[in-house]
Amino acid sequence: MTEYSRNKFGDQVHPNRLATAAGRKGVLIPLGLLTVLAANISALLVPFLTIRFMGTKEYKLIESVKLMWDAHIYLVAFLIVGFSIIFPLFKTISLLIIWFRKMKPRRRNRYIQWLESAGKWSMFDIFVVTLLMVISTNQVFINTEPRYGLFLFIIAIIGNMIMSRFMEMVDQRINFNHRARFGGDTDVLEPLTSTGAIGWTMPLLLLVSLVAIVFAIELPFFRINEIPLYSKSYSIHSAIQALFEKGDPGLAVFLILFTCIAPILEIALIGHCWMLKKTHYQIAKRLDLIKIVGEWSMLSVFLMALAITVTEGEEMVHTQIKSGLWAIIIAILCSLICTRLARRKLRSMLVMEGDDD
């Protein structure tokens, strides 16, 4: 008997190998993954950060673990090892194995989605470095500068996320094709009026989420209280300004994209999908887009880096928690509730309609 699994719509899908099913263009995926792997390994071996404080010292990513350990910031050291050293390499190698191995599509899709969702947590160390850059802006006694190892690492992590996204797109085209299932369906769905009480509650939840994100961006999240450093308060907005002033536009754009634009865009996409009538195919595609943007929305990663910097970093710099930290937490919780609820309801509408057919 031929072995098969069922996709999320209940259709039978036979096991296959993405490397074979993707055709000639599929060779670009392993080449991209090998490039990412090379950038990742290189980022571990070259200078990552320069710190000037009673002398100048260059640190590689691996050496930064020793720096944190010597400063008794053990949690940060473990997180750097886990998220920034082990997991990116594990993810790249796993994607290569998944690409060439024959697997049941549903199981493979779960693996790819898990790796894709977890990928953004590798950005943790980049946010920690970004916060160190912000703290040292316009300070007399301490200064930090990014080195090319940091940018190699950013390229490796973003490249890893892009490759996993391409793999999921190939997998979806072959095994979970929305156009094949919904392309000929001209019926429209209206989530606002067809999901009961949730339908009319969602616009309010989306508005609250949007306001919370704006407050999270504008309110100060901590204040430096450390002699001989100048006492300053920082929000995400002022941190972005400080990075531009410091001459680090790359890191400033990094913050803008992942802590401002992506969270707001995710809420906007949900609102657009929820408020307007759409066909089954349009909703299925919009759900994919919401998921993609959600993977690049990194307020939660920034919060973890911020919390670790404030708590564990007391050994190095004393800071005072401000209201912006709680605003970030509220923004993350509101966005999480909206996205999970909206995606679950929209998916159930598609499945129910598909079952009716």
CATH code, 141:
1.20.140
User: Is the pLDDT assigned to residue 29 strictly greater than 80?
Assistant: yes
Task: Verify that 282 and 308 share a domain, yes or no.
Answer: yes
Which pLDDT value is given to residue 231? 67
- Indicate whether 183 belongs to any domain: no
DSSP 3-state assignment of 313? helix
Q: Which helix (H) or strand (E) holds 205?
A: helix 197-218
DSSP 3-state assignment of 184? coil
- Report the interhelical angle of 87-100 vs 148-175 (nearest 10°): 30
Least confident among 30-44, 45-59, 197-211: 45-59
Q: Which of 120, 148, 176 is the last residue of a domain?
A: 176
Task: Verify that 339 and 280 share a domain, yes or no.
Answer: yes
Task: Verify that 266 and 339 share a domain, yes or no.
Answer: yes
- Indicate whether 4 belongs to any domain: no
- Indicate whether 10 belongs to any domain: no
R_g over Cα of the chain: 23
Least confident among 33-37, 80-84, 262-266, 309-313: 309-313
Q: Which of 153, 176, 199 is the last residue of a domain?
A: 176
Instruction: Name the band, by pLDDT with cuts 50, 70 and 90, for residue 1.
Output: very low
Which pLDDT value is given to residue 107? 87
Amino acid in the structure at residue 313: G
Task: Verify that 297 and 225 share a domain, yes or no.
Answer: yes
Task: Verify that 197 and 326 share a domain, yes or no.
Answer: yes
Task: Verify that 39 and 169 share a domain, yes or no.
Answer: yes
User: Is the pLDDT assigned to residue 336 strictly greater than 90?
Assistant: yes
* Distance in angstroms (rounded) separating the CA atoms of residues 197 and 175: 34
Task: Verify that 206 and 342 share a domain, yes or no.
Answer: yes
User: Is the pLDDT assigned to residue 137 strictly greater than 80?
Assistant: no
Task: Verify that 206 and 160 share a domain, yes or no.
Answer: no
The count of domains in the chain is 2
* Distance in angstroms (rounded) separating the CA atoms of residues 251 and 154: 10
Q: Mean of the pLDDT values across residues 82-88?
A: 90
Q: Which of 116, 150, 176 is the last residue of a domain?
A: 176
Structural domain including 309 reads 190-357
Task: Verify that 218 and 351 share a domain, yes or no.
Answer: yes
Task: Verify that 47 and 114 share a domain, yes or no.
Answer: yes
- Indicate whether 201 belongs to any domain: yes
* Average per-residue pLDDT for the chain: 83
Task: Verify that 204 and 349 share a domain, yes or no.
Answer: yes
pTM score of the predicted model: 0.85
∠ at Cα 323 (320, 324), nearest 5°?
100
- Indicate whether 251 belongs to any domain: yes
Which pLDDT value is given to residue 19? 83
> On the CB side of 207, how many CA atoms lie within 13 Å of its CA?
6
Task: Verify that 264 and 325 share a domain, yes or no.
Answer: yes
Which runs of E-coded beta strand occur in 220-310?
222-224, 233-234, 278-279
Contacts of 51 (CB under 8 A, 6+ apart): 57, 59, 142, 143, 144
